[in-house]
Structure 1
Amino acid sequence: MVVLNKIYTRTGDAGETALGNGSRVAKHSARVTAYGTVDELNATVGLARLHATGDLADQLSAIQNDLFDLGADLCRPDMEKDDEAPYPVLRMIASQVDRLETEIDAMNANLEPLRSFILPGGSALAAHLHMCRTVARRAERLSVELASMESVNDIGVKYLNRLSDWFFVASRVANNNGADDILWVPGANR
């Protein structure tokens, strides 16, 4: 259980922050940048949820919870020392990726195949989901970069990869099952 009764601690005033294992690193470290971008993604999902209803709203809620799990996973280095922690360490698991794949397949079953790239936009929800997609891709790139330097749970990286696909397909659902997608016209303004 997390208890936050004092929001500011002044411990980060010198440009460092604590990781999940208690070690301190620079706030601009690759690990902090990766989980900070996951936090930014979670905020963009919150904006999208303002426009969502039904299944999409419920699924976005689950995604927000997953993103907190992913942030907790990324903020704790040294996966090989998880069994030494005084408490169970939270790591992303394959079933979270599997759930996204199942939802993508279900949404995509009702969509016509694309014959063109689409432009971000259409409905307000679709536009927000496209923003989520691009932030998810950035979080994925930063997590892959981190993984080239330090140990990272590969399931978290897979989750981000699948999640950006989820946002793309969900944006089409939000655009009247693709009927209101805005198609890219190559060279249209030449």
Structure 2
Amino acid sequence: MTGHVSPTNRGEPWRIARGYVTLQSHLGATVAKFTRIYTRTGDDGTTGLIGGRRIKKSSVRIAAYGTLDELSSAIGLARALCGEGGGDRAAVLDAWLAWAQDVLFNAGSQLAAVDEKIPGIPAVTQTDVTALERAIDSAQNDLPPLNNFIHPGGSLAAAQLHVARTVCRRAERLIVELRDEDDRGIGESIQYLNRLSDALFVWARWMNDRFGVPDHLWNPASSPPQ
């Protein structure tokens, strides 16, 4: 990106640690159970929120922050693929994607902590949203104007960034659905996910540009192969 805008110069530390110790203390026994993979407590189809309340795994709230986890996994694969021959551009993008995974974990923490007024729970902030806007503008400066719709694809890195983008859109839709029935713990998450999906789209084009792979333009008059 022009000027190498990075998470470290977005106005606050890249690794958001605010409230982490407090969060650990409130999680209590759950943190201690990290060394034990299975607990059997969810065998009845429920899961625990921070504070101890249990709700059905089929709830919109669980679907929402479960999809944030899925999104982070999709981003993790994108990071691995971008690092294969992506050069300096991949290193810059990796820093942004690693930061995005931290923010997504913060968003999930907010959604899981609705039952208590726990001080110091990591939160998605307007600063996070603004940081993404700067990253989008920076990457756009390196790209030719886009005058048509494009299909996901191109390089492996770009294709996976598009997969992450569509998962991001799904997470956003679920949190909007959750907001309509219970807006606790949502904060700036919807706005952040809206920007993140835009960023993932631009970053996919940015990596195709880096690998010298053209975007696959939509052709509304396309004919089948002969």
Instruction: Give the structure-2-normalised TM-score.
Output: 0.77
Cα distance, 1:5 vs structure 2: 1.9
- In structure 1, how many angstroms separate the alpha carbons of the residues matched to 2:43 and 2:81? 37
Match of 2:112 in 1: 75
The correspondence of residues 11-90 of structure 1 with structure 2, limited to 5 A, is 11-52=41-82, 53-77=90-114, 82=117, 85=118, 87-90=119-122
Partner of 2:38: 8
Aligned match of 1:104: 136
**Is 47-56 or 125-134 further displaced after alignment?**
47-56
3-state SS of 1:148 partner: helix
Query: Matched residue of 1:175: which SS?
Result: helix
- 8 Å CA contact 2:155–2:213 kept in 1: the answer is no
What code does the residue aligned with 2:159 have?
A
Write the distance in 2 (CA, Å) between the matches of 1:5 and 1:54: 32
Aligned AA for 1:94? Q
Instruction: Say whether residues 1:139 and 2:171 are aligned partners.
Output: yes
Q: For 1:113, which of 142, 145, 152 is the aligned residue?
A: 145
Is the CA contact 1:137–1:161 (under 8 Å) kept in the aligned structure 2? Answer: yes
Gaps of at least 5 residues in structure 1 are none
Superposition RMSD in Å = 1.6
Amino acid at match of 1:119: H
Name the structure 2 match of 1:154: 187
How far apart, in 2, do the equivalents of 1:187 and 1:130 lie? 23
Unaligned residue ranges in structure 2 (runs of 5+) = 1-23, 25-30, 83-89
Query: Matched residues in 1 for 2:100 and 2:155: separation?
Result: 21
How many Å apart are 1:111 and its aligned residue?
1.5
1:179 Cα deviation after fit: 6.1
* TM-score, structure 1 normalization: 0.91
Letter in 1 for 2:39: T
Q: Aligned letter for 1:180?
A: P
Moved over 4 A (4+): none
Aligned to 1:165: 198
Q: Deviations over 1:42-84 (max 9, x none)?
A: 0000110112221011111111111111111111225xx52xx
Give per-residue Cα distances to partners, 1:97-117, cap 9 Å, x unaligned: 111111011001122221110
Q: Distance in 2 between matches of 1:131 and 1:149?
A: 28
Q: Percent identity?
A: 44
Contact persistence 2:67–2:171 (CA under 8 A): yes
Distance, in Å, in 1 between the alignment partners of 2:98 and 2:148 is: 30
User: CA separation in 1, counterparts of 2:133 and 2:61?
Assistant: 26
